[in-house]
């Protein structure tokens, strides 16, 4: 364990920005509605994957084993402390993390997550538990609805479609969890080889600067193996986010009347730097252009080989696209489909 989860939660209690709390009836409706949206979205997204009946049944059983959580900001911080502990493989760090170091890392992480707690609307967490957790941050959803001036019912369903797509991606390719853990463990170990960063607590202090836009992890990495791990993780996140964008728009057009308006406003929000949790935390700068690159890759592949041909991506780790292939889909098509 590299993060003292309880200490992170206690620290975050002092740092998390105060958010408007709805009255109890409105809050109950919000929580129940987001959970219902998540289950509906899972079915809609899974249908769009066009899997074989046997494969679809396997995916449904994995989805059913997962959980859907609607959290406040403090609960989200605590959940992500758990996620980071689950994200890093045992032995990834060259030395054990002692209690004092775990507390120091918790303080720095609480600061990072508190900054993000009003930006991140939802998140699929594959790391804390093997079955995965689909999470929504209720205060952030309410803040975004008001700031963007959108229909709450449509917006909540749209957010659910995006996050449920990530849940279905990992359920379709159960090997993806361990592959991402391996890559991210290599990235987390990076600061021990970076000039000026000496330990786990320093890592999360640096991540705080990255989230604020004061530093870039890519610029800080000096080790070539770690740079390759970050580049591979970036390509996978571009794929997963781009695919989620395509699905939420294609499925959304059937069930969300204001989907085009939501897309325009959401792109503006995302381009302002309010992206996904891992993107923000790793400082990968997955701004709007890179989400679009992932979506363009998905659409280009499906034009050539259809949804069934595209699904080869989730069949094997060898079929995941590289950064170069995200930019030039023909390279992936030639490599995978010959």
Q: Which domain holds residue 43?
A: 5-337
Task: Give residue for tokens 């595209």.
Answer: 310
How far apart are alpha carbons 102 and 100 in whole angstroms? 5
How far apart are alpha carbons 133 and 176 in whole angstroms? 15
Nearest-5° Cα angle at 153, 150 to 155: 50
Per-residue pLDDT tens digits for 242-267: 999 999 989 999 999 999 999 888 87
DSSP assignment of 11-71, as one string? Answer: HHHHHSPP-----HHHHHHHHHHHHHHHHHHHHHHHHHTT--HHHHHHHHHHHHHSEEEEE
How far apart are alpha carbons 9 and 117 in whole angstroms? 13
If you ran DSSP here, which 8-state letter would residue 95 be given? Answer: S
Per-residue pLDDT tens digits for 283-299: 444 455 667 899 999 99
Q: What total number of domains does the chain contain?
A: 1
How far apart are alpha carbons 116 and 64 in whole angstroms? 29
Q: Assess contact for 188 and 69: CB atoms under 8 A.
A: no
Task: Give residue for tokens 């890519």.
Answer: 218
Q: Assess contact for 79 and 135: CB atoms under 8 A.
A: yes
Which phi and psi angles does 71 have, rounded to 5°? -120, 160
Entry pTM: 0.87
Task: Give the residue from 168, 141, 171 showing the smallest Cα distance to 34.
Answer: 141
Q: In residues, how long is the chain?
A: 338
Per-residue pLDDT of the chain (338 residues; tens, 9 = 90+): 778 899 988 999 888 887 777 888 888 999 999 999 999 999 999 999 999 999 999 999 999 999 999 999 999 999 988 998 888 776 766 666 788 878 888 888 888 888 888 888 999 999 999 999 999 999 999 989 998 999 999 999 999 999 999 999 999 999 999 999 988 887 766 554 444 445 555 666 666 665 555 655 555 566 677 778 878 988 998 999 999 999 998 999 999 999 999 988 887 776 655 555 455 444 444 455 667 899 999 999 999 999 999 999 999 999 999 999 999 999 999 999 98
How far apart are alpha carbons 130 and 333 in whole angstroms? 32
How far apart are alpha carbons 296 and 246 in whole angstroms? 9
How far apart are alpha carbons 330 and 325 in whole angstroms? 7
Which phi and psi angles does 287 have, rounded to 5°? -80, -175
Per-residue pLDDT tens digits for 183-236: 888 776 655 444 444 555 566 666 666 555 565 555 556 667 777 887 898 899
Task: Give the residue from 168, 225, 163 showing the smallest Cα distance to 193.
Answer: 225
B/e letters for 95-132, b = 16+ CB within 10 Å, e = fewer, are: eebeeebbbbbbbbbbbbbbbbbbbbbbbbbbbbeeeb
Q: In what order do the strands lie in the sheet with 67-71?
A: 67-71, 133-137, 122-125
């Amino acid at each position: 364990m590299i993060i003292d989860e309880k200490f992170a939660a206690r620290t975050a209690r002092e740092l998390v920005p105060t958010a408007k709390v709805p009255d109890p009836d409105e809050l109950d409706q919000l929580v129940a509605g987001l959970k219902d949206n998540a289950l509906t979205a899972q079915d809609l997204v899974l249908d769009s994957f066009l899997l074989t009946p046997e494969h679809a049944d396997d995916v449904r059983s994995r989805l059913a084993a997962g959980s859907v959580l609607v959290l406040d900001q403090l609960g989200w911080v605590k959940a992500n402390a758990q996620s980071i502990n689950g994200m890093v493989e045992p032995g990834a760090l060259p030395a054990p993390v002692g209690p004092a170091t775990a507390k120091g890392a918790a303080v720095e992480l609480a600061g990072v997550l508190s900054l993000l707690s009003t930006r991140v609307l939802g998140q699929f967490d594959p790391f804390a538990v093997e079955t995965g957790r689909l999470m929504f941050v209720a205060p952030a959803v309410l803040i975004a609805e008001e700031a963007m001036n959108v229909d709450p019912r449509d917006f909540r369903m749209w957010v659910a479609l995006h996050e449920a797509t990530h849940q279905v991606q990992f359920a379709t390719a159960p090997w993806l969890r361990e592959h991402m853990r391996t890559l991210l463990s290599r990235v987390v170990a990076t600061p021990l080889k970076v000039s000026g960063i000496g330990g786990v607590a320093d890592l999360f202090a640096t991540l705080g600067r990255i989230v604020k836009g004061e530093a870039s992890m890519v610029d800080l990495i000096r080790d070539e193996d770690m740079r390759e791990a970050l580049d591979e993780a970036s390509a996978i996140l571009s794929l997963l986010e781009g695919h989620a964008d395509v699905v939420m728009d294609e499925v959304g057009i059937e069930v969300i009347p204001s989907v085009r308006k939501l897309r325009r406003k959401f792109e503006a929000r995302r381009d302002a730097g309010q992206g996904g949790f891992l993107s923000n935390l790793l400082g990968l700068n997955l701004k709007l252009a890179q989400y679009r690159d992932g979506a363009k890759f998905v659409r280009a592949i499906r034009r050539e080989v259809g949804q069934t041909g595209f699904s080869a991506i989730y069949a094997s780790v060898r079929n995941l696209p590289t950064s170069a292939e995200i930019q030039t889909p023909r390279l992936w098509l030639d490599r995978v489909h010959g």
